[in-house]
Chain A
Amino acid sequence: GQSLEQPSEVTAVEGAIVQINCTYQTSGFYGLSWYQQHDGGAPTFLSYNALDGLEETGRFSSFLSRSDSYGYLLLQELQMKDSASYFCAAKWDSNYQLIWGAGTKLIIKP
């Protein structure tokens, strides 16, 4: 079957760095996306990795290893506003359909 695994919850301290891992198992694979969702809101796009390696966008970076079917989202200089759920999603066909992980709730403590 097709699935993505990510931790249900991660806790970190304001100003620190946190890594959220995602492993995937899909019949086809085009790339891995990351989305942020605050409580009561809609998901917002953070990053997309189609090739192996690290993509950096400001305080957020995303990594992909296709050979390991693994990726991660790295958040640096954590701020309280980063408290949210983070979803990895695999694009498995050319029609923009995504398979979603269950989400990781990031709790940030002062």
Chain B
Amino acid sequence: GAVVSQHPSRVICKSGTSVKIECRSLDFQATTMFWYRQFPKQSLMLMATSNEGSKATYEQGVEKDKFLINHASLTLSTLTVTSAHPEDSSFYICSASRAGGPNNSPLHFGNGTRLTVT
């Protein structure tokens, strides 16, 4: 089955530093990847849609300069949280869908990254 690898699974960083999260589709090509954020006991909030070879599309209210997204290849997208603050602490999840797949292709999720900013 389709596998999406997300790294790191947990990261603790100090306020003001930057953190990079990687999302890789291991056995399929993904022209589009999605980055979500999830607070405890809440639903997934779409942050941005990452398109290979072009600029990411950010959802309303998400600062593109703070959450830098790079999708340089068909199998890798990265999210960098710049100048992290404690309020950025959250569970970040990436997902991808198989390029050229049928209309009912499911989203495959990475295992998520729990970010704690101290």
CB distance from A14 to the nearest CB of B (A): 23
Among the 9-residue stretches A20-28, A76-84, A97-105, the one with 4 or more Cβ atoms under 8 Å from chain B is A97-105
In the complex where A42-B111, A96-B32 touch, is A30 in contact with B43 (Cβ < 8 A)?
A: no
With A31-B103, A102-B43 given, can you name 16 additional A-B contacts, CB distance below 8 Å? A31-B104, A33-B107, A40-B114, A42-B109, A42-B111, A42-B112, A43-B44, A43-B93, A43-B107, A43-B109, A45-B106, A96-B34, A96-B97, A97-B49, A103-B42, A105-B41
- Interface residues, chain A, CB within 8 Å of chain B? 30-31, 33, 40-45, 48, 50, 87, 94-98, 100-103, 105
B105, CB-defined interface residue at 8 Å: yes
With both beta carbons as reference points, the residue of chain B lying nearest to A46 in the complex is identified as B106
Determine whether B56 belongs to the interface, using a CB cutoff of 8 Å to chain A: no
Indicate the member of B34, B103, B107, B110 with the most A CB atoms within 10 Å.
B107
Interface string of B36-67 (1 = CB under 8 A from A): 00000111101001000000000000000000
Say whether B108 faces chain A, with CB atoms less than 8 Å apart.
yes
In the complex, which residues of chain B have a beta carbon less than 8 angstroms from the beta carbon of A45? 106-108
Closest 9 CB pairs of A and B: A45-B106, A42-B109, A96-B97, A42-B112, A102-B43, A48-B104, A100-B43, A42-B111, A100-B44
Q: Enumerate chain B residues within 8 angstroms of A50, measured Cβ to Cβ.
A: 103-104
**Inter-subunit contact B107/A98 (CB<8 Å):** yes
Q: Chain A contacts of B112 at CB under 8 A?
A: 41-42
